[in-house]
Amino acid sequence: AQSVTQPDIHITVSEGASLELRCNYSYGATPYLFWYVQSPGQGLQLLLKYFSGDTLVQGIKGFEAEFKRSQSSFNLRKPSVHWSDAAEYFCAVGAPTDSWGKFQFGAGTQVVVTP
Amino acid sequence: ETGVTQSPTHLIKTRGQQVTLRCSSQSGHNTVSWYQQALGQGPQFIFQYYREEENGRGNFPPRFSGLQFPNYSSELNVNALELDDSALYLCASSSQGYEQYFGPGTRLTVT
């Protein structure tokens, strides 16, 4: 069975500093991988996704993520954080053999941005 | 282009009651997935509807049921509500194999 782990429940970062959010997954083959962001009172917005090919994926809002098969990881990064990046971030995996949209989400990482 | 909408925004029910949540999918999308997001947790997949048929289900009991209509909008029904059903219920629409777009969710409180 697939699983997703986000080791950091909460991260505080200064505005302008870099940010890295960790995501580890467990799955027999290479799954589909996603990062979503959720602002308070809102639904989830897709930041980026990985299906295959280039392991460094660029997303919206200046985010990127790198797929590392050897480490079963898909970490999200942003070089310089803006106050508007304060939100909860979720990593998700989907099995290519499963019905599309049957994603498993991690528990999330809450990002706080300080001035 | 109208995004995914959900109704109601909030509701409060009593244990044992039944509830129906509604989702209007984005134009052109034929697939709707429902997720339950308990406080402090990530969303959990409940089930998916594709062209009016259930197309995959997560680990939820049969008292969670759904429908998809010819216009691809969808309903989530929960019978015999329990306190643990209190959560944010998210619906997401997509075309098979493409990005899912999430609605803002319905916050259900069971007392």
- What is residue B1's predicted lDDT score, i.e. its pLDDT? 54
Condensed to tens digits (0 to 9), the pLDDT of residues B53-88 reads 998 899 999 999 999 999 999 999 999 999 999 999
Disruptive mutation site among B88, B102, B107 for chain A (greatest number of A CBs within 10 Å): B102
- Mark yes or no for CB contact A46/B99 under 8 Å: yes
| Chain segment B15-53, per-residue pLDDT in tens | 999 999 999 998 888 999 999 999 989 999 999 999 899
Task: Find out whether B51 and B29 touch, Cβ atoms under 8 Å.
Answer: no
Q: What is the pLDDT of residues A2-41, one digit of tens each?
A: 789 999 999 999 999 999 999 999 987 788 899 999 998 7
Q: From chain A, pick out residues whose CB is under 8 angstroms from the CB of B48.
A: 99-102
> Residue A36 carries which DSSP code?
E
Q: How far is CA B38 from CA A97, B11, B85, in A?
A: 27, 15, 8
Mean local confidence (pLDDT), A54-62? 95
Residues of A in contact with B99 (CB under 8 A): 46, 49
The verdict on A107 touching B (C-beta cutoff 8 Å) is yes
Q: Which of B44, B100, B105 sits opposite A101 (nearest CB)?
A: B100
CB A104 within 8 A of CB A6: no
d(CA B58, CA B86): 18
How many Å lie between the alpha carbon of B79 and the closest alpha carbon of chain A? 23
